[in-house]
């Protein structure tokens, strides 16, 4: 199974991932950060399509050896479901960490993000949130030409509330990093199939 810990920049993903990798969950789940494959300076949405497919294939490999796979990064659910190899997975579940524009701006400034890039991150974060709530929200943001044969038809007719659009949102404005990590770990444990859940 592929679990996706997702969300736009500044939402708290990396801190939560470090906590997961230190927990006993790491014995049953392969945890990776999306950017660990290296991000080219000219990375765009088309490049992300190829990177998403790379990680989905890695999840398929982990699945074949009896492990689950947790991917942490800015991966919209629509891209994940449309990855060519996604239909080879036993299941996909996503937790999106979300924060308000005001909090995102503060967090990005605190970590030294260039001021000129912050509006882009905020805009993407708001789109990401609405996309998670409704697959029909502005799909053109991710449906761009690329060399990866994305399978958009898998979900292009789905609407808000469709049970197949398996994503949960965790609002992080009022949570400290430790609280976010605790809730993320609880989500992982609750999402794993009962027969393989760690004790």
The 3-state DSSP class for residue 157 equals: coil
**What is the C-alpha separation between 86 and 10, in angstroms, rounded?**
27
Per-residue pLDDT at 161: 93
What average pLDDT score do residues 140-167 get? 96
pLDDT exceeds 60 at position 137? yes
What average pLDDT score do residues 100-104 get? 96
Contact 12, 177 (CB under 8 A): yes
Q: Where are the domains of the chain?
A: 2-196
Per-residue pLDDT at 26: 64
What average pLDDT score do residues 145-154 get? 98
Which CATH number does the domain 2-196 belong to among 3.40.50.300, 3.30.420.40, 2.30.30.700, 3.20.20.100? 3.40.50.300
**What is the C-alpha separation between 197 and 193, in angstroms, rounded?**
6
Q: Where are the alpha helices (DSSP H) in the chain?
A: 13-22, 45-64, 77-82, 101-110, 118-133, 177-191
Contact 144, 45 (CB under 8 A): yes
If you count DSSP H runs as helices and E runs as strands, how many of each does the chain have, helices first? 6, 5
**What is the C-alpha separation between 141 and 90, in angstroms, rounded?**
27
Q: What is the CA radius of gyration of the chain?
A: 16
What average pLDDT score do residues 114-134 get? 96
Residues, the chain: 199
Of 118-132, 148-162, 176-190, the least confident: 176-190
Distance from chain centroid for Cα 119: 21
* pLDDT-derived band at 25, boundaries 50, 70, 90: confident
* pLDDT-derived band at 15, boundaries 50, 70, 90: confident
Per-residue pLDDT at 194: 63
Tokens representing 15? Answer: 């801190």
Tokens representing 103? Answer: 């909090």
pLDDT in tens, 36-92: 999 999 999 999 999 999 999 999 999 999 999 999 999 999 999 999 999 999 999
Q: What is the CA angle 164-182-106, rounded to 5?
A: 90
Task: Output the average pLDDT for the chain.
Answer: 92
Tokens representing 196? Answer: 């393989």
pLDDT in tens, 29-38: 899 999 999 9
pLDDT exceeds 60 at position 196? no
Per-residue pLDDT at 85: 98
pLDDT exceeds 90 at position 17? no
């Amino acid at each position: 199974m592929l679990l996706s810990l997702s969300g736009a920049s500044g939402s708290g993903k990396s801190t939560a991932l470090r906590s997961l990798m230190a927990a006993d969950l790491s014995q049953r789940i392969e945890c990776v950060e999306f950017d660990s494959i290296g991000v080219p300076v000219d990375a765009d949405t088309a490049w992300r399509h190829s990177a998403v497919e790379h990680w989905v294939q890695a999840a398929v490999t982990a699945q074949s050896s009896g492990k689950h796979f947790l991917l942490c990064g800015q991966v919209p659910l629509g891209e994940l479901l449309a990855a060519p190899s996604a239909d080879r997975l036993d299941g996909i579940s996503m937790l999106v960490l979300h924060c308000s524009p005001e909090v995102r701006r503060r967090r990005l400034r605190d970590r030294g993000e260039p001021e000129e890039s912050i509006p882009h991150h905020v805009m993407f974060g708001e789109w990401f949130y609405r996309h998670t709530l409704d697959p029909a929200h502005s799909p053109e943001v991710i449906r761009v030409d690329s060399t990866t044969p994305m399978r958009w038809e898998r979900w292009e007719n789905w609407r808000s509330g469709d049970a197949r659009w398996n994503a949960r949102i965790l609002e992080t404005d009022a949570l400290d990093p430790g609280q976010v990590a605790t809730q993320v770990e609880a989500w992982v444990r609750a999402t794993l199939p009962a027969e393989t859940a760690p004790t």
